[in-house]
Amino acid sequence: MLHFIVLIPFLFAIFVPLLYKYFAPRVHTGWFVLLVPVVLFLYLLRFLPRISNGMDLLRSVPWMPSLNLNFTLYVDGLGLIFGLLITGIGALVILYSIYYMSKHTEALNNFYVYLLLFMGAMLGVVFSDNLLLLYVFWELTSISSFLLIAYWYQRERSRYGAQKSMLITIFGGLSMLAGFIMLSMITGTYSIREMVANVGDITTHSLFVPAMILILLGAFTKSAQFPFSIWLPGAMEAPTPISAYLHSATMVKAGIYLVARFTPVFGGEAEWFWLVSGVGLITLLYGSLNAVKQTDLKALLAYSTISQLGLIMSLFGVGSAALYFTGGSESSVYAVAVLAAVFHLINHSTFKGALFMVVGIIDHETGTRDIRKLGGLMQIMPVSFTLAVIGAFAMAGLPPFNGFLSKEMFFTAMLDASRMSIFNMDTLGALFPVIAWVASVFTFVYCLVLVIKTFRGKYKPERLDKKPHEAPLGMLIPPIVLAVLVVAIFFFPNTLSEYLLQPAAHAVLPGLPENVFAKEISAWHGFNLELAMTIGVVLLGIFLYRSRKNWVGLLRRYPESLTLNTFYDLGLERGEEASRNLTERYMTGYTRDYIVYAFGFLILLAGGALLVSNRLSFDSANNAPITFFEGALAIALLAAALTILFAKSRMTAVLALGGLGYLVSLLFVIFRAPDLALTQMVIETVTTALFLLCYFHLPKFFKGTGRIPFKPLNLVISIGAGLTVTLFALSANGNRLFEPISDFYKNSYELAGARNIVNAILVDFRGIDTMLEISVLAIAALGVFTLIKLEINRSEKNEGTK
C-alpha cells in the first residue's frame, strides 16, 4: 500500500473533473476530495508504533532495473513526520476551502486537481529513496504550485507571482539534479540509503563540495532562503487555502526536508555547517526585519514564514556539527539542535497554518487585509481573535504555546554553537545567539502588530468593503483544530517526542546513539540565560512596538532600486531584451539562413572534434569490394539527387525524392536487410503521398527572370557539411572502440520476440523514447484541436452577435 499512498492523489485527480461536472453546484467538490487526505492520514498513523521502535519501512517496485532504477519508497521518522503534515494539514485546508471557495463562481475542478497533484508530488518527495524519482516529484511540486499560485490567472499579480516562484524553484531544481548526478558518479548508486552507508567515499571525493552547493541551491530556492526568498511574498496572490497549505506545511518545507535528508551525507563538514546555519540565520533576520514594516496581513505572514524557515534551517546547520563528534560526548550537545529543528518544524506548521486561515477569514469577512483599514474586530469576531492570539503568541515564543518550547531549545542551540571550538566558531560563534535574539525581538514585534492592529483599536467600518461578522463554523473548525494542537503540544511535548521527534532526529543523525535524543522537553528549566533572553525579547519587543511609528519608517526608507525584487525584475527584463535582440538577428525568415546555422555548427563541432581528437584515420583493409549493383545504385542515387536540385516543378521534385528513397531501400536489400528495406519503403510511400497531397494545392514554382547569384558561403557550407559527414563515417569505421551494437540487435527475436529488427528497436529496445515521441505528438494534436475548436466557437459567437 505504500506506493498507493503516493499514487492515490494522482489517480483521484483524474475523477475530479467528472465529479465537478455531474455534482456541482449541488455538492461542493471539496467534500469528495476531502476523503483523500483523511484516508491517507489515518493510514500513515498506523506506522507510528513501528517507526517509534526504529523499524523503518522499505518497498520497491522495478522501474528500469537494467539501469538500477526502481520505484523505491522509504518511510522513517523524518519521512513520516512530513507525510503526516502533508496529509493532516491537507485535510484541514480542504475542509477550510469548502467554505472559503464558492461552489457557484470558482472553477473548483481546476483548484482541486492542482491541489491533489501537489499533494501527491509532496508525498513522493518525502518518501522517495531514489534520487531521480525524488527529482521527478520535486519538479512536479514546482509545476503544480505554479498552477495553484496562478489559480486566479485573470489577475496580473497572480501570474507574476506564479512565474517568479516557478523560475526560481525550477532553477534550484535543475541545480539539485546536477548535484544528484555528481553524487551518483561518486557512489555508483541513486539510493539515498546506500549513499549514507558509504558516506566515507563521498567526503574525500573532489566532487563533494560542488555536489553539496548544487543540492543546497535546490533546498534554498524551495524553502525561500535568502536571497531566493523573493518568490514567497509574491506567491501570496494565491487563494488563502493554498497559502495555508503551501507556505505553512508543505512546499516551503521541501527544502528543509532535503537539508535534513542529506545531513548524514554532508554533515560534520565545515562547508555544510556554515552554508546551512549561515544562510538560515541571515534569512531569519531578513524575514523578521521585513515583516515588521508590512501593512498587508498575508505579506506579513509571508515574511514571517521566511524568517521561521531560516530559524529551522539554522538549527539543522548547527545540529550537523554533531556528526563531527560522532562517538564523542560533545555530539549530544549539538544533536539537541536537530531535535529542536524537527520540533519547531511541527510547531510552525500548526501555528502558521492557523494564522493563515485566520487571515483568510478576515479577508473573506471584511474584504481587506490592509491593517491600516482594520481594527476593533475583537468584539465582532471573538473566535477569530482567540485563534489569532494563540497562533501569533506561539510564533512569538510565549507560553503556554508550543512555540515557546522550541524557541527555548533554539536559544539553547545557538548558545551551545557560540561555545563551539571547531569550524572557526571561536571567532564568529558569538554572532549566532546575537542574531537569533535580535530576530526574535522583531518576531515578537510583528506578532503584536498582527494581533493588536487587526483586533484592537478603533473600529473603522467606513474603510471596509463588507460589514464584518464571525466566520461560519465550517471555516473555523480547521484553525480551531490547529490551535488546540498548539496548546496540547505545550502540555504534552514528550509524547510527541517519543513517537515523532526522536525517530526523525535519529534519521537525520543516524550515526549517533538513540539515547542522545531521549531528552525531556519541559517548559521550566530554572532561571538560566535562555529564560533571560526570552524576557529580554518580551520587554524590548513591547518597547519597540509602542515606539514603532518612530523607527519603522527607517526600514521603509531602504531604496526600492536596491531591493532583491528590483534586481530580479531588472534581470528578467534585460534577459528578455537580450533574447529578443539575439532572436531577431538569426530569425530572418529564410530557410537558407537556418540551414547555414545548422550545417555551420555541424562543421565546427563535429569537424572540430575530429581534428582536436586526432581521430582522422581510415582503415579499408576489412572492407568488402564494391559490386556492380552497388555502384549502379550509387550512380542512380546521385542522379536522383541532382534531379531534385534542377527540377522545374514540384511534382518532378517530389517524384525524384520518392525515387531516391526507393533506391535506398534497394540498397538495403542488397545488404541483406529486408526489414530495413520494408520500413524504408513504407515510410517513403506515405511521405511521397503526403507531399503530393500538400503540394497539389500550392502554386507552381516561381520562375525568376534573372540568374541566381553565386554565393561563396553556400559552396563552403555545402562542401564542408558533406566532407564532414563523409570523414566522420570513414573515421568511425576505422576507429572502432567498442563492439558494434548491431550484434546485440541480431538477437531481437530471443530478446523481444520480434522477427523485424526495426520494430524491435522502436517498440522494445527504445520503447520509452518512442512512447514519449507519441506523447509529444498527441499533446501537439490536442493543442491544435483546442485552437481550432476555440476559433470555431469564437466565429460562431461573432455570428450570433451579428
**End-to-end CA gap in the chain:** 59
C-alpha to C-alpha distance for 161 and 409, rounded to whole angstroms: 35
Res 704: pLDDT: 53
From the centroid of its chain, how far is CA 255?
A: 9
Phi then psi dihedrals of residue 546, to 5 deg: -65, -30
From the centroid of its chain, how far is CA 504?
A: 23
C-alpha to C-alpha distance for 408 and 431, rounded to whole angstroms: 18
C-alpha to C-alpha distance for 387 and 790, rounded to whole angstroms: 48
What is the crossing angle of helices 208-222 and 156-187, to 10°?
A: 160
Residue reference for cell 496580473 = 156
Q: Are strands 57-64 and 69-75 parallel, antiparallel or unpaired?
A: antiparallel
Q: Report DSSP state, residue 130.
A: B
Res 587: pLDDT: 86
Provide long-range contacts, Cβ within 8 A and 24+ apart, for 175-178. 175/214, 175/215, 175/217, 175/218, 175/221, 176/135, 176/138, 176/214, 176/215, 176/217, 176/218, 176/219, 176/258, 177/135, 177/218, 178/214
Residue reference for cell 507510528 = 48
Residue 437, H or E segment: helix 431-455
**Which cell numbers in the block locate residue 600?**
555551420
DSSP output for 192-256: HHHHHHTHHHHHTSTTHHHHHHHHHHHHHHHTT-TTGGGHHHHGGGS-HHHHHHHTTTSHHHHHH
Rg (CA), the chain: 32
Residues 241/101, Cβ–Cβ less than 8 Å: yes
Q: What is the mean pLDDT of the chain?
A: 89
Peptide bond into 400 cis (omega under 30): yes
C-alpha to C-alpha distance for 437 and 442, rounded to whole angstroms: 9
Dump pLDDT digits (tens) for 636-691: 999 998 898 888 777 888 889 889 999 999 988 888 878 788 888 888 898 888 88
Instruction: Return all residues near 219 (Cβ < 8 A) that are at least 6 apart.
Output: 172, 176, 225, 255, 256, 258, 259
How many degrees, rounded to 5, is the angle at CA 228 between CA 226 and CA 234? 115
**Which cell numbers in the block locate residue 361?**
477569514
- Paired with 60 in beta bridges are 72
Positions in the chain short of pLDDT 50: none
